[in-house]
Amino acid sequence: MSKLLVTGGAGFIGSNFVHHVVAHTDHHVTVLDALTYAGNLDSLAGLPEDRVTFVKGDITDAELVDSLFSQVDAVVHYAAESHNDNSLHDPRPFLDTNIIGTYTLLEAARRHDRRLHHISTDEVYGDLELDDPARFTESTPYNPSSPYSSTKAGSDLLVRAWVRSFGVRATISNCSNNYGPYQHVEKFIPRQITNVIRGIRPKLYGAGENVRDWIHADDHSSAVLTILDRGEIGETYLIGADGEKNNKDVVELILELMGEPADAYDHVTDRAGHDLRYAIDSTKLRTELGWAPTYGDFEAGLAATIQWYRDNESWWAPSKDGVEAFYASKGQ
């Protein structure tokens, strides 16, 4: 049985990956998570104790990281500060976690010769014009536009340097926007879903023309597991499911699926530096490694996500009021 260490495994995408690994492999998973506001132990509830071990700690803690690396065969690095608005308010935690934390993991991987897969984002490439037919590929130049995306770009470059300079056995994936269970209610899709459940009108930045390329978290998880198993060391793979939708269409689809009028939302001032469009070309991953998404239909995946939030109000309710109070203070 292989032993995996998953950093950030109590967060949204990380916890979905842990559930996926338990369901589809025989691996044992050790989760390392600092349990900041975005981490939630309830996201791991119900998983078998003989398959999943939880360790509370920070990826910048070199002694703890070194100890954990010595006990596992491979590491999947999800831990990150990831909220763009928060990075504009206070960039420092993003530098600490995304840069120093990744450096700490790379040094441990170097010492112990452990396989490492680094999770990144398509936001490192900047954005595309709304009428541009192009999509991001593995050769697209980096052009980050926020403290969040710039620190993720920096962490990607650290991984590449440690592969080339020190022979660390690492791969990188850059993924489009995830949706699905266990996502914090500060994020776009769960915020709108939980607003409707609470009888609050959803909020849409600006005209809602900004485009995101959506992928269900379970599809992201299957892609990461594929790269971990079959990816070529030193390579980068883009993960996407051809799910381009503008924010206006997503909000209106949420309302329709929840039995509300499609126009029952409010426009709020657009956020600073709001990227226009993200779009992923995942040809390399599909052709070289044979991966394909399960949720080819965004509407079906969104309907399943809405049902999860309806069924799991006890999971998201404790943080909902604080999130809405914060956004209200910003007029959003």
Tokens at residue 49, please?
């104790």
In angstroms, rounded to a whole number, what is the distance separating the alpha carbons of residues 170 and 68?
17
CATH 3.40.50.720 assigned to domain 3-178+215-239? The reply is: yes
CB 159 within 8 A of CB 152: no
Number of H helices, E strands in the chain: 12, 12
pLDDT in tens, 186-219: 899 999 999 999 999 999 998 999 999 999 999 9
- Mean pLDDT score of the chain, rounded to an integer? 94
Mean pLDDT of 239-247: 94
Give me the active site residues, please. 122-123, 148
Helix (H) or strand (E) holding 111: helix 102-112
pLDDT of residue 82: 75
pLDDT in tens, 142-178: 999 889 999 999 999 999 999 999 999 999 999 999 9
When pLDDT is cut at 50, 70 and 90, the band that residue 37 belongs to is confident
pLDDT in tens, 51-69: 999 999 999 999 999 999 9
300, amino acid identity: A
